[in-house]
Each structure stands twice: as C-alpha cells, then as structure tokens.
Structure 1
C-alpha cells in the first residue's frame, strides 16, 4: 500500500462492485486508503480478495440497491460498523440486450430504470443524513458517454443514463451549503461482463472496433482508465467541484 494516501480511513461505498468497472473503482479507492464497502447482488469475493491481497481493507454487503428496504439495511450496517460514510459511488447498472425501441418490453424498461436511476436516488437519500452531520461527503454517479452519442438500440439504457446527469445537477444544487459534493462520470465503451451480455461476441467486437476508430486516443478503453477521475472526485482535490459531469472516453464524444 502507498504511504501518501488521499483517502486514508475514509469510508467508501461502491455499488455494482462485483466485477468490471465497479471492481476497479473498489481497488482504486482501497488503494488510496479507503475503508471499502463493496455492494452487489453478485458475490464480491473476487473484489475483496484483490483488495486484501494489496493490503487494503474491505467489507462485502449483498443487496439489491433498487429495493428500499435492502438499501436502508445496508446503510444501517455500514453506520453501525464505521459510524460514518464519506464517499458513495453510485455505479450499479443494468445493460439490456440491443433491441429496437418499439420491441423493448415494459418489464425491461422498468428494471433498467430501477437499477440505473432509482437505485441512485435510494442510495443517495440513505447516505446524505450521515454526510450532512459530518458536514462533508462525496457522491459520484456513473453515467455513460452514450448520452452524448444517442446510441441506438439501447433506448432504456441511454435514457436512464441521461437521467443521471440531470439527477446529479439537481441534487448538487439541493445540497448547496452542506459540504456534500455531487458529480458524475460518463465512461466510454469498455468491454466488461455486463457489456458482453448485450449482444453476441462478434457484434460486441464490431462495436468496439468502430468506437476505437472514432476515438482521438486510438486504443481500447480499460476499466483502469476510469480509476483516476473517480479517486480525484472522491478526494479533497475536488472540493470546489460539484454538479459537474466528466467525460472519460478517449475523445470519442465532446460536450
């Protein structure tokens, strides 16, 4: 572990922490000294093993963050153990299969909105009282650069990720004067387990090739490319930044 840690002893919650980008956020925050709480409906054993192997500290809580009672229970468990919450990374997301807008089922629409948007509201609402009492806190919402591109065949996903930008701006203003910063990150196309489920391997590979060709930085985006900006937004270095969205996609889109 490093000696000059920017997040030493801070309590950080990451949702969607079992794999992919969420796991990378966990590793990055724990690597900066944070007490990491990994939240997912899937097992976070691999995430915790990697953190512990690197000398970090982490706790796993299984929860569906779209369910109010489960969110309340997980936050109560965190507060009972650590007595504070400094950082919330709202990362949990569901990527549906590529589908024409008029073929999307109501069930898929509702589940995507619940996982991608409702969960952020529930988790933020649950941690804010503790952050208010502390007079300080960082909430970081993970959206997607598909909101800038208007990616077709992913309407529920793109609509949900667009809502996150508005959610971030409105919540930041509503929390004015509390010491709580609310910001957003829009990652680019990163092949993770979740992305691989949206189409067959050939289609996913084709999309990735097209994205790289359209990027200014001509290489595939990796989960590690997102770690730096999340650590920055979680640290004191970003204390004068709130209500903002930072795009991290190799220059594929501009806004």
Structure 2
C-alpha cells in the first residue's frame, strides 16, 4: 500500500462516518493526520481504527447543508486543531431512482443540497483559513454520473456534474494561492448508498464497467489521498476517474 506523510496536517472529512469518507479518514489517520469528521451520524469506534487520543481525532455532528452549522463547525475545528489543511467533501446521497417527472421538488432539493450545496458551503468556510496559511487541498467526490449521466438518477447526475464544474472553476480561481482543488469521479462502488438505488439501476451501472466489477472504498480512497497530499503539486481543477474504465476522460 502506498503511504503518504500527513504528519502536522489537519483534515476535515465530510460524510466520514461511513463509506468512502470513512475509508479516507482511516487512511489519513494511519498516515499521521489529525482528522475531523463532519457527519450527521457519529462514527463507530468499536473496531479500533479511530484513535482515542483527542489531539488526533474529532467529530462534529452537523448538517453540512446548513450554512450556520458549517460555519460554526469550521470555527470549532480551527480552535481544536490550530489550522485546516485539507477538506475532503465526501458527504452524499444517491436520491431516488425513478423517472424525473416523478421527482417531487423536495426530493430534488434534498439531492442537490447534500451533494452540491454542501461542497459549496464547506469549501467556502475553509478557503479563508487555508489562504491565511498559503496551503490547502480540497478534494470532492463527484461521480461518473456527473460525466455521463445515469438514467432515472437526474438529481444525482445534475448534482455531481455541478461538483465537477465547481471544481474546475474553483481550481482556476485559487491557482497561485497554494490551495489546489480537485475531484474524483467514482463509478459503481459498494457502499451503503447503494441501498438507495434500485436493483435495476445497480445492474445497469455494473454492466457499463469494462473491469467487470464494482470498485471498493479503499481503491477510491487511495486516489483521494494522493490528491490530498503534497505529492499532488501540479494538478488543480482536475477530474480524476475511478470508474473501472467506464470513462477515460
């Protein structure tokens, strides 16, 4: 396993209680980072992967679609850790899998709020803190659906396309500041989010993967860790594929 040195770095992982976010948080901690998880649920610590030392690990129970909650969490995390170097935007939901004409406005807004608005709110909250130190890495989890679209997942596809567009714009906007902004676009990955998808939608997505299997959270986390590290020094506004060959652009 490739390892990176995150000693003396502080990372925020939204949606870090489970799934890809949890895998990223585990790897960051194992690589020496101080990690703050922002999630609506508390991470499980019974498996022993999260350290008990308070200087290394914190979590805040919050709704990352709430402007007030995000701003408060940023202040609290800064007070606890002294600085914020890395933001991993991993919070997300798939939302309904059905024809768009059957979407309610509430369902549509929930998917956009969690997948797209949270990236805006969390990134906006940490950028001034990173700019003050002249260093930062923002890595967002988009999706292959944002590149190619998934039928019956219009809300999710639209939100993830928005994450890709925001990444490109923000990467250019912050170029020269020491803050690099990139995103990773996973294809089908076995996480709890698949429980929100119909079996038909899962089968359709799986059939499009040239490697003929879903990805794992650890495979996606490995790509994210590189983008969050100092080794990523000449890429910003970039979109890194993690789709098993479904998209190579």
Q: Please, what TM-score do these two structures have when normalized by structure 1? A: 0.90
Assess if the C-alpha contact under 8 Å between 1:92 and 1:116 holds in 2.
Answer: yes
Unaligned residue ranges in structure 2 (runs of 5+): none
Q: CA RMSD in A?
A: 2.0
Pairwise CA distance, 1:42: 1.2
Match of residue 65 from structure 1 = 64
Q: Please, what TM-score do these two structures have when normalized by structure 2? A: 0.92
Assess if the C-alpha contact under 8 Å between 1:18 and 1:46 holds in 2.
Answer: no
1:235 equivalenced with 2:229 (yes/no) = yes
Unaligned residue ranges in structure 1 (runs of 5+): none
5 Å-filtered alignment, 1:212-231, equals 212-231=206-225
Match of residue 51 from structure 2 = 52
Q: Distance in 2 between matches of 1:97 and 1:46?
A: 30
Q: Distance in 2 between matches of 1:248 and 1:114?
A: 24
Match of residue 124 from structure 1 = 123
Assess if the C-alpha contact under 8 Å between 2:4 and 2:229 holds in 1.
Answer: no
5 Å-filtered alignment, 1:2-81, equals 5-46=4-45, 49-52=48-51, 57-81=56-80
Q: Distance in 1 between matches of 2:72 and 2:36?
A: 14
CA distance change for structure 1 residues 137 and 224 in 2, over 3 Å: closer, same or farther? same
Pairwise CA distance, 1:17: 0.9
Q: Distance in 2 between matches of 1:114 and 1:215?
A: 28
3-state DSSP class of the match of 1:50? coil
Assess if the C-alpha contact under 8 Å between 1:95 and 1:157 holds in 2.
Answer: yes
Match of residue 146 from structure 1 = 145
Pairwise CA distance, 1:215: 2.3
Match of residue 190 from structure 2 = 191
How many residues in Structure 1 have an aligned counterpart in Structure 2?
A: 246
Q: Distance in 2 between matches of 1:75 and 1:218?
A: 41
Assess if the C-alpha contact under 8 Å between 2:92 and 2:115 holds in 1.
Answer: yes
Assess if the C-alpha contact under 8 Å between 1:144 and 1:187 holds in 2.
Answer: yes
1:252 equivalenced with 2:221 (yes/no) = no
Q: Distance in 2 between matches of 1:47 and 1:222?
A: 22
Q: Distance in 1 between matches of 2:21 and 2:47?
A: 12
Q: Distance in 2 between matches of 1:153 and 1:234?
A: 32
Match of residue 105 from structure 1 = 104
1:164 equivalenced with 2:163 (yes/no) = yes
